[in-house]
């Protein structure tokens, strides 16, 4: 059974409401609700929003993005970065994967949307591959939320392209005279040293959602 259908059925059963009562509260047709609960169809975004409010859960939970038991991490190194774990209201595109390892791989492929609170100023998100940022609370398989910018501030975490359009990393950025240092947050990795001409800022990391899926 699809995780979305499983969760919808689970919250419906726990609510103690009848299908008729859910339909009255949401305005959803009873036949449509039966199709959603059986897994024949999955509701569209507006309907998911209505159901999430009736069942008092987040859209992310019903979509299968949010784990059963979210865990916050020690974010002492994530100054200004939000751990995404709250009721959602705004769709943000998922644009594939970004490297948080040696910096040799990046894919930009639209995978769908992730719903977040409108207070988080993110333009898109990418899945993290690698463990070079674990000491900043960013883990392999997480979603990193990126706000587009072409500028940067010393010590903040950015998604940047280096050397070519297909080589991108998520790192702390430091500028020293004519040298750019892309610092990992894992002692097992060495900093990447380049110059301003060899680097393009894609955007600032403004949030992280911790996935329960481990990517290999």
| 10: CATH | 1.10.260.40
Q: What is the pLDDT of residue 71?
A: 36
Length of the chain as a residue count: 216
88 and 191, same domain (yes or no): yes
158 and 195, same domain (yes or no): yes
100 and 157, same domain (yes or no): yes
Query: What are the pLDDT tens digits along the chain (216 aa)?
Result: 677 788 899 999 999 999 999 999 999 999 999 999 998 888 876 788 889 889 988 777 777 666 554 433 333 444 455 555 545 568 888 887 887 655 444 455 677 788 887 778 899 998 898 999 999 999 988 889 999 988 889 999 999 988 755 678 899 999 887 889 999 999 999 999 988 777 889 899 999 988 654 343
Q: Where are the alpha helices (DSSP H) in 17-73?
A: 19-26, 30-38, 45-55, 59-63
d(CA 42, CA 65): 15
CB 95 within 8 A of CB 79: no
Any domain includes 158 = yes
Does the annotation count 148 as an active-site position? no
d(CA 165, CA 155): 23
Residue 126 belongs to domain with CATH number = 2.10.109.10
d(CA 65, CA 49): 15
E strand intervals along 34-163: 82-83, 90-99, 106-116, 124-129, 143-148, 157-162
Any domain includes 77 = no
117 and 40, same domain (yes or no): no
Q: What is the pLDDT of residue 102?
A: 53
Q: What is the pLDDT of residue 23?
A: 95
Any domain includes 57 = yes
Any domain includes 153 = yes
Any domain includes 76 = no
179 and 150, same domain (yes or no): yes
Residue 110, class by beta-carbon neighbours within 10 Å (0-12 exposed, 13-18 middle, 19+ buried)?
Answer: exposed
33 and 137, same domain (yes or no): no
Any domain includes 111 = yes
Q: What are the percentages of helix, strand and coil residues in the chain, rounded to 5? A: 25, 30, 45
Q: Which residues contact 153 (CB under 8 A, 6 or more apart)?
A: none
Q: What is the pLDDT of residue 73?
A: 34
Q: Where are the alpha helices (DSSP H) in the chain?
A: 3-15, 19-26, 30-38, 45-55, 59-63
Does the annotation count 6 as an active-site position? no
| Domain termination site, one of 63, 95, 110 | 63
178 and 89, same domain (yes or no): yes
d(CA 130, CA 119): 28
Q: What is the pLDDT of residue 166?
A: 60
pTM for this entry = 0.60
Active-site hit among 132, 147, 156, 214? 132
113 and 171, same domain (yes or no): yes
89 and 174, same domain (yes or no): yes
Active-site hit among 52, 58, 85, 171? 171
41 and 98, same domain (yes or no): no
Any domain includes 72 = no
59 and 123, same domain (yes or no): no
Tokens representing 165?
């359009």
Q: What is the pLDDT of residue 116?
A: 81
Name the domain count of the chain: 2
146 and 196, same domain (yes or no): yes
DSSP 118: T
Q: Give the N- to C-terminal CA distance of the chain in Å, as an integer.
A: 25
Range of the domain at 154: 82-209
Q: What is the pLDDT of residue 94?
A: 87
Radius of gyration of the chain (CA): 20
């Amino acid at each position: 059974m699809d995780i979305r259908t499983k969760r919808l059925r689970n919250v419906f059963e726990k609510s103690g409401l009848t299908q008729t009562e859910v339909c009255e509260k949401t305005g959803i047709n009873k036949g449509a609700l039966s199709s959603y609960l059986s897994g024949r169809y999955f509701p569209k975004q507006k309907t998911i929003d209505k159901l999430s409010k009736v069942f008092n859960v987040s859209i992310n939970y019903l979509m299968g993005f949010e784990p059963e038991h979210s865990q916050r991490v020690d974010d002492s190194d994530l100054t200004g970065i939000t751990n995404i774990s709250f009721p959602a209201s705004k769709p943000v595109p998922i644009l594939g994967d970004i490297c948080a390892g040696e910096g040799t791989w990046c894919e930009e492929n639209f995978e769908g949307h992730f719903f977040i609170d409108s207070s988080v100023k993110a333009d898109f998100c990418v899945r993290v591959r690698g463990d070079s940022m674990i000491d900043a609370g960013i883990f392999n398989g997480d979603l990193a939320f990126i706000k587009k910018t072409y500028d940067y501030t010393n010590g903040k975490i950015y998604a940047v392209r280096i050397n070519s359009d297909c080589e991108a990393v998520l790192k702390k950025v430091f500028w020293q005279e004519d040298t750019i240092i892309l610092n990992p947050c894992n002692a097992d990795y060495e900093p990447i040293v380049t110059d301003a001409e060899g680097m393009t800022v894609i955007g600032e990391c403004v949030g992280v959602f911790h996935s329960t899926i481990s990517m290999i």
